[in-house]
Structure 1
């Protein structure tokens, strides 16, 4: 848009006893009006404003003839102490952290956000030479992604630590807790493979899906191990207890996994707006539940048979 630029001459201002403040008052009166007092109407107060009828885009000769009153009482035209000219400039100046900002926006389709921004950063670094005082920042959705990723770096270890602590307190055995905790890497394998098969990138929603998956995967192992320990407490041998637990808890484990997995199928297959957030989460949960369930029923009994706590033999002396 068009601007009126007024460049004061400090030497001439000093000669007439004027200051930059006098120029600013005149500029304010030209642009938006200068407050010179108040008008009272009963209990209501109104500002009295002085504003020139001459528009900013008007004739420069008329604007240059605007009078200024010096301290000596002398009337000095504005054009005698300042240079006036019409220039063009931006309609809006965006600022961020007290710095002027120019925004370049684009949408990401058909690929993941992280690799797109990485390619953009490489292209800017290779082909753009920034003047002194300029910098490039990547914001918007990518900025939110970085913030969420940093939070996940704290939330995921905290969730795993809480799961481990609850298993230890529930079973009163660190060895049993570690055996059940094997369901977590089992679930991770399935979630990663599912993302790879569907060609989906790892995203924040996928990370949330892994957190939800850990709880269900650990629950299946907990059902199996606690039942085996109950059989051992009832007098069954170690090998016999885990074998019966794997057989008798097959249906509950499969039911738990199927209920959770089938509930995420509509999200995994959805193509509606917003499904790009739902699909990674649902894919991780479904794939992780498949691998965690299979490995819980096939691998976990063997691990428990080899490393699980055995019932203490009781000797009764007659």
Structure 2
């Protein structure tokens, strides 16, 4: 999964694009050194392209011309001696195979041996290849990474003990200051950071829509705008619990934590509606006073609220304390839900009855004032 997201075997990667394999790798080595100084960046690794021994043969045009040869003649001899040339075909039933011959390994297995390969001239002379071309043993590319037809050198990394966005932003700023790329080179970041940006864009639509739907459903449940506001107050209370849980555990805000906050919206609203609807029944239908109805609603609806909280906490506790594979995805969500649920279960037992008493007392006083007027 990481390789599909980041393009390499790592959680995140930065790709250095450019036409030169050597320049890309040099820039990648510099980026590894720079990112190693950024707090939170870990597991740095460079996927090297160079390191494969290669023999480079460069014909000397002037030397070839002195002997009446051209570069094509030299290339043909090298191809026959080192790569081989098909001289005939061998048939086996209905299948045919090329019969290829080439020089023995001891005569082509090293730069020195290749330099001794002789090339026949038009005058019948045999000239060693060393006099007609330059033979070099170089470090060639073992693997050339490409994307959309462009060469690149990948650097993998992970983020530990720091939130992903700020760590990568710090790395980008430090690279921009300490490394000056050629005009034909550029960087691209891939992996979890792209997933984070996509998730943030989705949440910018999902969270406001969730608020609208939650407000509408809350109003349909309590049939009063004032009581709807009392229900919705549980949302910031739950968010406070989630934030405190992240601070206590040292976890950073992430996409997983954001989904946890969306989850506790529903838990908080469900608990608040239980209390408010029971208060409405006691006060409006059964005729209890505002104070008595608010106290009994908080007391008698504490058991179902507590059951909801315990189910959420016990069910997510293993994920909250997990440190295994995939913990970085499930742990923040579990911590936020547990923290938010606990705070909602505790604080709203005091907050909601108070708000119900104050709001309904004010409403009844206002209604009596209108009647007297």
Q: CA deviation at 1:129?
A: 2.7
Q: CA deviation at 1:198?
A: 2.3
Deviations 1:21-51 (A, max 9, x none): x877766666655667764422445455455
Equivalent runs, 1:159-238 vs 2, <5 Å: 161-162=209-210, 164-165=212-213, 168-169=216-217, 171-172=219-220, 173=223, 175=225, 179-231=230-282, 234=285, 236=287
Task: Give yes or no for contact 2:74–2:119 (8 Å, CA) kept in 1.
Answer: no
2:146 aligns with 96
Task: Give yes or no for contact 1:232–1:241 (8 Å, CA) kept in 2.
Answer: yes
Structure 1 gaps of 5+ residues are: 314-318
Q: CA deviation at 1:236?
A: 4.1
- Asked if 1:4 is matched to 2:55, the reply is yes
Aligned residues: 301
Q: CA deviation at 1:221?
A: 2.0
Q: Matched residues in 1 for 2:320 and 2:200: separation?
A: 22
Q: CA deviation at 1:4?
A: 1.9
Q: CA deviation at 1:223?
A: 2.2
Relative to structure 1, is the Cα distance of residues 80 and 262 closer, same or farther in structure 2, using a 3 angstrom cutoff?
A: closer
Task: Give yes or no for contact 1:2–1:57 (8 Å, CA) kept in 2.
Answer: no
Q: CA deviation at 1:87?
A: 3.1
Deviations 1:168-189 (A, max 9, x none): 2575358355543333222211
- Asked if 1:57 is matched to 2:105, the reply is no
Task: Give yes or no for contact 1:238–1:305 (8 Å, CA) kept in 2.
Answer: no
Moved more, 174-183 or 280-289: 174-183
Equivalent runs, 1:104-115 vs 2, <5 Å: 104-106=155-157, 108-115=159-166
More strand by share: 2
TM-score with structure 1 length normalisation? Answer: 0.71
**SS of the residue aligned with 1:158?**
helix
**SS of the residue aligned with 1:102?**
strand
Q: For CA contacts below 8 A with separation 6 or more, give which structure has more relative contact order.
A: 2
2:335 aligns with 283
Task: Give yes or no for contact 2:316–2:334 (8 Å, CA) kept in 1.
Answer: yes
TM-score with structure 2 length normalisation? Answer: 0.62
Query: Quick one: which of 62, 87, 93 aligns to 2:137?
Result: 87
